[in-house]
Structure 1
Amino acid sequence: MPRTLRTTLIGLLSATALAATPWFTAPAAAGPSAPTAAFTDTFDGPAGGAVDAGRWGYETGDNVNNHERQYYTDGTKNAALDGQGNLVITARKENPANYSCWYGRCEYTSARLSTARTFTTAYGHVESRMKLPRGQGMWPAFWMLGNDIGSAGWPNCGEIDVVENVGYEPGTVHGTIHGPGYSGSGGIGAGYTLPGGAKFSDAFHTFAVDWSPNKITWSVDGNVYQTRTPADLNGNRWAFDHPFYLILNLAVGGYWPGDPDGSTTFPQQLVVDYVKVTGGH
């Protein structure tokens, strides 16, 4: 999920930097994947319930590298089932005295979930159906990081952004890859805009990548809008030939989306109907 230096809590930091950062510990890699990796979560369960700990873990703290304004919490305060087959990640405007951030006090809370300890895949069809939040400063994302981040660091581990949205572009989403020589604001990607002025906060949409050796293709609602191969990297290394894990998060503020302003209402919600991976290994 970067656009400048932003790759979130662990994305930009080397293993050495992580060791010196007391508020966050790099997740351990998942165990060996089965010959065919498959993952499905339809978020069934009672309203207010927690996500399945066998599938997802919480990544907590603030993002020192991207100047985001939220503090990621664990538990059900900011990430809970709605009882209707959805996961709801909620960004809340909180009492700033409650959460310490690198620049003082965080003004918002939210959640970031990952499968770093439970599931990885190399290649496959990776898909989620979601309804995005709205408002200046909102930054939802569904993305993947290479499971060797603890040893290789970012961006050498590789990053695949299945979908990102910034609040000042309510009808446009972005898909991007980041790797050595093409990271942060130099990431390689493209945008997809809904026709007729429609907004991604108005309804659910399906976001997917099809990832195979030396090729990644992005689609929205089945409409392919971008394909990337090693030929797009200007001679840089293709960093997408090993297992990656999944991340869902809702950031608030940051260098790319900018901060919320007087037009932004809270709470805001990223509503996730399902996440599934097929055909990987």
Structure 2
Amino acid sequence: MASCQSSSVAEEPLESILPENFETPPTIEDVFAPDYWDDAQLVWSDEFDGTALSAENWKLETGNHGWGNNELQNYISEGNVEVGDGTLKIIAKKETFDGSNYTSARLNSKKEFRYGKMEIRAKIPEYKGKGIWPALWMLGYDINSVGWPACGEIDIMEYVSYSPNEVHFSIHSTANNHVKGTQITSGPVPMETIEEEFHTYGVLWTDKYMKFYIDTAENVQLNFIRPANSNSDNWPFSKPFYFLMNIAVGGNWGGLEGVDNTIFPAVMEVDYVRVYQK
């Protein structure tokens, strides 16, 4: 019955049995708290100062194979990118090059990021007619090994010129993508000044959600919460992603109502790309 007897040994204070180098574990922050992003720090940016594209920050992806969407442009490495007066200019042109009747540029960031407040301030090409498809977006770093859509896609801004004064925000994964017609999307968001003024397009990205917004983080247009039973098919968003910026011509969506050849050259200006993290 010894185990039922009360001990006469006093309990040692907790402080005396902790190792000298013990550190209290940090408090886990609530990512849904209204002030969660208030102390996020700028960790990477390109302000596009100077007169040349930073080879340290960007690489140009090239080709005219349709890019999975039957697009018409040839992305080439020279002649379609300019930097000056504090902005990057991505230019789509009506010109023949290596079997294509249009040229453009597609920029990929060399650095990858996992979670953060991602912002791109840009001005969509002046509205002149149908046929272009500018986009500011992100892809999973493992696209070359797992392919699309398993890599995941985060569309920070998409625009098709046959539908002016509107912008779209979307995500794509194996479970939710436009090929299946199951993509998670804001649908068309009205923006009367999208072609005339610079706007900030952003996403707040944590391990619990992605929130897409215009100009301020409070102006959320699409809120995607991580599924309760998440897996790599419906939430491939817990790994690094890289930025892409481009203007496509035609394609399954951009060319849905044809291409007006009088709209070229079409220029998208980017003021900056910024990444803030906790």
Is the structural similarity TM-score above 0.5?
yes
- Aligned position for 2:196: 202
2: CA distance, partners of 1:68 / 1:216: 28
Structure 2, unaligned runs of 5 or more: 1-40
**How far apart are 1:37 and its partner, in Å?**
8.4
Q: Relative to 1, partners in 2 of residues 1:121 and 1:241: Cα closer, same or farther, differing over 3 Å? A: same
Match of 2:156, SS state, is strand
Structure 1 contact 172–191 (Cα < 8 Å) conserved: no
Structure 1 partner of 2:14: none
Moved over 6 A (4+): 232-235
Does the CA-based 8 Å contact 1:90-1:250 persist in structure 2?
yes
Post-superposition offset of 1:226: 1.3
Whether 1:38 and 2:55 are equivalent positions in the alignment is no
CA contact 1:161–1:177 (8 Å) conserved in 2: yes
> What is the CA–CA distance in structure 1 between the aligned matches of 2:89 and 2:234, rounded to whole Å?
37
Q: Matches of 2:44 and 2:71 in 1, distance apart? A: 30
Matched, 1:245 2:248: no
Indicate the SS of the match to 1:151: helix
1:67 aligns with one of 42, 65, 70: 70
Who is 1:32 aligned against? none
Find the counterpart in structure 2 of residue 120 from structure 1: 112
Q: Secondary structure at the match of 1:150?
A: helix
- Residues 80 and 89 of structure 1 are in contact (CA less than 8 Å); yes or no, is this contact kept in structure 2? yes
* Contact persistence 1:214–1:238 (CA under 8 A): no
Q: Secondary structure at the match of 2:227?
A: helix
Q: Is residue 176–residue 234 contact of structure 2 (8 Å, CA) maintained in 1?
A: no
Deviations 1:191-224 (A, max 9, x none): 35346xx241111111000000020000011111
Alpha-carbon RMSD across the aligned residues, in angstroms, is 2.0
1:1-281 alignment runs, 5 A limit: 38-46=43-51, 50-64=52-66, 65-75=68-78, 77-81=79-83, 83-95=84-96, 98-100=97-99, 106-115=100-109, 118-133=110-125, 134=127, 135-184=129-178, 185-191=181-187, 193-194=189-190, 198-222=192-216, 223-231=219-227, 236-258=233-255, 259-261=258-260, 264-279=262-277
Give structure 1 stretches of 5+ with no counterpart.
1-35, 101-105
CA contact (8 A) 1:182 1:233 kept: no
Higher alpha-carbon Rg? 2
Percent identity at matched positions?
41
CA distance in 2, matches of 1:180, 1:248: 22
Using structure 2 for the length normalisation, give the TM-score.
Answer: 0.77
Whole-angstrom distance in 2 between the partners of 1:242 and 1:69: 31
Matched residue, 1:10: none
What is the letter of the counterpart of residue 223 of structure 2?
T
Are the counterparts in 1 of residues 46 and 273 from structure 2 also a CA contact under 8 Å?
Answer: yes
* Offset of residue 94 of structure 1: 0.2
State the shift of 1:124 in Å: 0.2
| In structure 1, distance between residues paired with 2:117 and 2:124 | 21
